[in-house]
Amino acid sequence: MTVTQTKPEQRGRGGGRFLAGRSLNEIGLIAAIVVLYVVLGSTAAGFLSLDNQLGMLRDAATVGIAAWGVTLVIIAGEIDISIGPAVAFASVLVAKGAAEWGLGIGLSVLVTLAAGAAWGALAGWLRARFEVPSFIATLGIWSALGGLGLYLTDALPVVLPESGLFDVLGGSVLGIPTPAIVMVVLFFVFAYVARYTGYGRSVYAVGGNAPAARMAGINLSRVRVLLFATTGLLSAITGVLLAARLGSGNGGAASGLEFDVIAAVVIGGTALAGGRGTLLGTLLGVAFITVISNGLVLLGVNSFLQNVVRGVIIVVAVLVNVVITKRARATRET
């Protein structure tokens, strides 16, 4: 049995139209980012400075690393809202392990990464084994990790010990922020996996038509567990990098990060219904979100109003996404 997949490689008249729609979304994002740079470069003092651009790369990495995994999750027709507390708890875990539990620097990092994969796999297992909606499964993880992070620290920062490894992770390599380097490397890894591997094709198939994918022999449970284990691991990586950057683990860090991540993925053109999306689109979505957030800060916009602006952007992006999805579906049916 052949599983119909909505993928970038589609050909023919319908596939060509789909490609055109996807390219239009990406071209529109590039144009929007260019316009933002022109406007903010002339209105926001210091926006184009080297220090600010490097700071934006660090901020983009905080959103982008997790966004690569969430892109595949949403393509598969699922959702993960646990990113913010997962990142915060990972920062606490690595700080506690290194500073108070006597695990040492290297082992603390490894334990944190393993724990991230484990709590992600737990959410995936709940989804796969008991058909718990991914929103509910990750909402439970969101609540549990958020509470644990604050409980273990009494809502106070846990200072990291002096370490050359943390200096590198929180610093720069050849002038480029280390988190940005990690983000770019992982981007190419995930872009390759999504486009050229059997696992990537399975993700698209599950999101496009899960029952048909199961009949075609795809193990839905394995795909779902791997998806959420991956987002857990990426959240842990982000948490370690954030702790190294701040010099401490904090249970209240990364508050609301999950919304920026989901917004970047959706703005990048990934369909919330599943089956459609690209890592390139998410990369542009991350850049768009980062530029807007940075610009609002430099323009002195009230922090509460910044949340309003981001909320409006998310709603508009979803509306545009729905329109594009409906047009793509109508095109495939003709």
Q: What is the model's pLDDT at position 14?
A: 44
Task: Give the number of domains in the chain.
Answer: 1
pLDDT tens across 43-57, in order?
A: 999 999 999 999 999
Mean pLDDT is lowest, of 127-131, 278-282, 307-311, for 307-311
Domain of 95?
Answer: 48-254
Kindly state whether residue 332 falls inside one of the protein's structural domains. no
Reduced to 3 states (helix: H, G, I; strand: E, B; else coil), residue 217 is coil
Kind plus residue range of the DSSP H or E element containing 173: strand 172-173
- 1: exposed, middle or buried (C-beta count within 10 Å: 0-12, 13-18, 19+)? exposed
More confident residue, 325 or 200: 200
Q: What is the model's pLDDT at position 272?
A: 87
More confident residue, 13 or 312: 312
Kindly state whether residue 149 falls inside one of the protein's structural domains. yes
Kindly state whether residue 107 falls inside one of the protein's structural domains. yes
CA distance 299 to 301: 6
CA distance 152 to 150: 6
Kindly state whether residue 142 falls inside one of the protein's structural domains. yes
- In this predicted structure, the answer to whether residue 36 has a pLDDT above a threshold of 70 is yes
Kindly state whether residue 147 falls inside one of the protein's structural domains. yes
Q: What is the model's pLDDT at position 13?
A: 45
Query: What does 68-102 look like in DSSP terms, one character per residue?
Result: HHHHHHHHTT-----HHHHHHHHHHHHHHHHHTS-
CA distance 301 to 220: 45
CA distance 315 to 153: 35
Q: What is the model's pLDDT at position 16?
A: 52
Kindly state whether residue 303 falls inside one of the protein's structural domains. no
Q: What is the model's pLDDT at position 204?
A: 97
More confident residue, 232 or 313: 232
Count how many Cα atoms sit within 13 Å of the Cα of residue 8 in the half-sphere of its side chain: 17
Kindly state whether residue 306 falls inside one of the protein's structural domains. no
CA distance 56 to 314: 20
The percentage of residues in the chain with a pLDDT greater than 90, rounded to a whole number, is 78
Using pLDDT thresholds of 50, 70 and 90, give the confidence band for residue 22: low
Token digits of residue 36? 């933002």
Using pLDDT thresholds of 50, 70 and 90, give the confidence band for residue 319: confident
Kindly state whether residue 322 falls inside one of the protein's structural domains. no
Handedness of CA 49, 312, 33, 26 (dihedral sign): positive
Token digits of residue 225? 């567990």
More confident residue, 41 or 326: 41
Q: What is the mean pLDDT of the chain?
A: 91
CA distance 241 to 186: 14
Q: What is the model's pLDDT at position 170?
A: 96
Using pLDDT thresholds of 50, 70 and 90, give the confidence band for residue 181: very high
Kind plus residue range of the DSSP H or E element containing 248: strand 248-249
Buried b (16+ CB within 10 A) or exposed e, 189-219: ebbebbbeeeebbbbbbbbbbbebbeeeebe
- Give backbone dihedrals phi and psi of 297, rounded to 5 degrees, phi first: -65, -50
Residue 19, CA distances (Å) to 7, 57, 257 in order: 9, 29, 30
> Cβ–Cβ contacts within 10 Å for residue 258, how many?
23
Using pLDDT thresholds of 50, 70 and 90, give the confidence band for residue 143: very high
Average pLDDT (72-89) is 98
